[in-house]
Amino acid sequence: MEATTAAPKKRILSCIQPSGIPTLGNYLGALKNWKTLADEFDGAFAVADLHAITVRQEPAQFRKQINDVLALLLAIGLDPDQSILFIQSQVPAHSQLAWILNCYTQFGEMSRMTQFKDKSQSHADNVNVGLFAYPVLMAADILLYQADLVPVGADQKQHLEIARDIAQRFNTLYSPTFTVPEPYIGKQGARVMSLQDPLKKMSKSDPNPKSYISVFDAPDVISKKIKSAVTDSEGSVRFADGKEGINNLMAIYACCTGLTNEQIEADFAGKGYGDFKAAVAEAVIEELRPIRERYERYSNDKAYLKEVAAQGAERASRVANRTLQKVMKKIGFVLP
């Protein structure tokens, strides 16, 4: 009887910018699921530091943020021996392929990118070419690793579409070279809104620090922020239109406890918002506690972080350089 070989896992790629400590919204909406993705797929996870310099960075702080995010990826449970875990700028093939793909991307395509228009308005004093070509670098990130799947939020769907268009264009001009990536629609994390304005998404750039929770906020800070969260005057814990503040807290509580809205409503029937906010705070504190503890251990071990980054860059480069060499050969470059 012949032994059957398991089908190779599909490759999934996800990147995070080192633009400050992620919020509870970033964690519950995406990062919490990355460990599951790493177990289910052949995972590649990157600290996307090249993307971050479209905005001016203070060098020492930027360096710290890169290491902080690498430590966070370890803290959420990613295993550098299981997945490719790397810092984008340590793999030169990203910049090399991005330039090549710029020459296979039309100006008009980039001009239609809605995120460029939005960011141009918010950074009007620094509308640089990198900001304009940002989606091409993102396409290079994806296509270098022949990613089958890419988890995307609503604000990145357009960028994945352009990556698909570039891949298909190159494949048609030459021959099949790139895997055409598909969006990954998995278990949806909570869409966490601002604690002070629940009609807006939670954001670390919000000028009001009470509006967001950082994944590294101390327990007493988390408790205070949730207790001051905007709700309504009704006083009953139920999910309904017009109760955006309570709906947001219920979404957070559900994501941390695994309870459904119906179970939450039953548990808090006849109880006030004070009791509910205290329960939400405790659930968030316990959800983040092990991550914060592991992060502190990893972030203080600079030698280990350097070792993880070096190992990840080597593994990532082996995959990326194979793709880059293939691309350059098909175009006609003289290879060494």
pLDDT recorded at residue 123: 65
Is the pLDDT reported for residue 1 higher than 70? no
* pLDDT computed for residue 21 by the predictor: 83
Range scoring the smallest mean pLDDT among 55-59, 218-222, 223-227? 55-59
Please give the sequence-ordered ranges of beta strands (E in DSSP) within 91-244, or none if there are none.
149-151, 182-184
24, 35, 188, 233, 243 from 248: Cα distances, Å: 12, 24, 15, 15, 9
The β-bridge partners of 16 are 47
Neighbours of 316 (CB within 10 A): 24
**Which has the closest alpha carbon to 76: 122, 12, 141, 29?**
29
pTM, full prediction = 0.88
Looking at residue 152, what is its pLDDT?
79
Q: Band of the pLDDT at 20, cuts 50, 70, 90?
A: confident
> Is pLDDT of 69 > 90?
yes
Known catalytic residue: 119? yes
CB 5 within 8 A of CB 46: no
Q: 3-7, 51-55, 95-99: which has the minimum mean pLDDT?
A: 3-7
- pLDDT at res. 18: 92
- How high is the pLDDT of residue 116? 66
Within 10 angstroms of residue 152's Cβ, the number of other Cβ atoms is 20
Instruction: Supply the angle between the helices 219-227 and 273-299 in degrees, to the nearest 10.
Output: 150
How far is residue 55's CA from residue 53's CA, in Å, rounded to a whole number?
A: 5
The pLDDT score that the predictor gives to residue 56 is 87
Q: What's the topology of domain 11-190+301-331?
A: Rossmann fold (3.40.50)
pLDDT tens-digit readout, 89-137? 999 999 999 999 999 998 888 878 777 666 666 666 777 777 788 899 9
Arithmetic mean of pLDDT over the chain: 91
Among the listed residues 32, 201, 225, 243, the single catalytic one is: 201
Number of alpha carbons in the 13 Å side-chain half-sphere of residue 42? 12
Taking the alpha carbons of 105, 111, 112, 114 in that order, is the dihedral positive or negative? positive
H helix or E strand, kind and range, residue 248? helix 244-257
Please provide the distance, in angstroms rounded to a whole number, between the alpha carbons at the two ends of the chain.
47
Residue extents of the structural domains in the chain? 11-190+301-331, 209-296
Q: So what's the pLDDT on residue 107?
A: 86
Residue 117: predicted pLDDT: 64
What does the DSSP 8-state code read for residue 85? E
Task: From the candidates 32, 119, 225, 277, give the one annotated as an active-site residue.
Answer: 119
Q: CB-hemisphere CA count at 13 Å for 150?
A: 29
Q: For domain 209-296, which architecture applies?
A: Orthogonal Bundle (1.10)
Tens of pLDDT, residues 180-202: 999 887 665 668 999 999 999 99
Q: Which of 10, 35, 204, 271 is catalytic?
A: 204
Whether 201 is catalytic:
yes
Which pairs count as long-range contacts for 61-66, CB under 8 Å and 24+ apart, including other chains?
A: 62/18, 65/18, 65/19, 65/20, 66/18
Q: What is the pLDDT of residue 122?
A: 61
Given a contact cutoff of 8 angstroms between Cβ atoms, the answer to whether 47 and 16 are in contact is yes
pLDDT tens-place string over residues 262-320: 999 999 998 999 999 999 999 999 999 999 999 999 999 999 999 999 999 999 999 99
For residue range 152-162, what is the model confidence (pLDDT) as tens digits?
776 667 888 99
Q: What percent of the chain has pLDDT over 90?
A: 73
Nearest to 73 by CA among 25, 29, 152, 17: 17
242's tokens: 């017009």
Among 218, 206, 245, 241, smallest CA distance to 229 is for: 245
Better-scored residue on pLDDT, 19 or 316: 316
pLDDT for the residue numbered 159: 80
